[in-house]
Amino acid sequence: MRILVTGGAGFIGSAVIRHLIENTSAEVANLDKLTYAGNLESLSLITNSPRYNFYQVDICDSNELDTVLAQFRPDKIMHLAAESHVDRSIEGPSDFISTNILGTYNLLEATRRFWNGLPLDAKKNFRFHHISTDEVYGDLEGTTDLFTETTPYSPSSPYSASKASSDHLVRAWQRTYGLPVLVTNCSNNYGPYHFPEKLIPHVILNALAGKALPVYGDGSQIRDWLYVDDHARALVEVVTKGIIGETYNIGGHNEKRNLEVVEAICELLDELAPIESKEKTTFSFKELITFVKDRPGHDRRYAIDASKIERDLGWKPQETFETGLRKTVTWYLENPEWWGRVLSGDYRLNRLGDVAL
């Protein structure tokens, strides 16, 4: 099995590649532009595998996509390359439109050209798996409602609108051209190797530095949290066993208010990395929590109904929020070199075209 992963140097993409190399016999190609969020050091555990290949390519470059597909000749494509940070999409939506919409279009067209030239058996076994987000659904008003695979789209931010657009393109390419596609929509991921701009690593690293822990609004926004290695397992199940044309929602069954998440991180740090205040009194990292102005269009609640993927493919998360968060905090405490190089920007030198690997 030959699997091409776009965005494989990103947070979820690198978890997928590590899982494929460590737990399957697949040959894997990582196609990544290496923007600020792409970090080859997240793949250090598997870089020397003879089954791992890397291509520094922008999915907006049609010619380069054609070249990579012709050289690697994948059986399956897992499309994770995307701009994904909501705050950045509000400040500057242009990159989100370019990568998430136009990039997906270019990849679909390159894939269609490649797929049309395959022998019949290879054509029949080929899959294009588009990885998306639950944010395309907007937010939930009720306290018990859940996103299902048939929930209407109602995106709130430039990021989620661009991902919704890419979802529609993928489904249209199946309906119009017969391309064998699968779509997954996942809840909030967390875990090791997460870029520090996202909530959980941001809170961990700010706390360790003694900085304020910013919480939007009153912190009552609810998210369903999914440990990234659980997500990686689910994605591989879908691309290998999923039914063409189907959508699968992937969630962690872990709804938490943002303030609960921040407080849980503080409690773990109080246990695993306690510090003593200058007055020699007990200090809690919760004292660093600071409430800040809410961001525009902030969705109040996301929650995934993941019963379909469990029923049809037998997947369910292995980690609870408590076990996954402990693993995450412990990883950041034990790997200061990785996140230190991210914070300093030195990780960006460890890439092709800048400094030799």
Angstrom distance (rounded) from CA 62 to CA 180: 20
Annotated catalytic residue within 32, 58, 134, 230: 134
| Bridge pairing between strands 255-257 and 222-227 | antiparallel
Annotated catalytic residue within 58, 135, 230, 263: 135
Which DSSP string corresponds to 156-213? -SHHHHHHHHHHHHHHHHHHHH---EEEEEE-EEE-TT--TTSHHHHHHHHHHTT--E
Q: Where are the alpha helices (DSSP H) in the chain?
A: 11-23, 62-72, 86-91, 94-96, 104-116, 120-125, 158-177, 199-208, 228-241, 258-272, 307-313, 321-334, 336-344
Cβ(147)–Cβ(255) below 8 Å: no
Angstrom distance (rounded) from CA 12 to CA 79: 11
Q: Assess whether 134 carries a catalytic annotation.
A: yes
* Amino acid letter for position 130: H
Q: Assess whether 135 carries a catalytic annotation.
A: yes
Annotated catalytic residue within 52, 105, 137, 159: 159
For the chain, how are helix, strand and coil distributed in percent, rounded to 5? Answer: 45, 15, 35
Instruction: Report the candidate in 76, 78, 327, 297 with the shortest Cα–Cα distance to residue 190.
Output: 327
Which residues lie below 8 Å from residue 97, measured CB to CB, with a gap of 6+? 158, 162
Catalytic sites, residue numbers: 134-135, 159
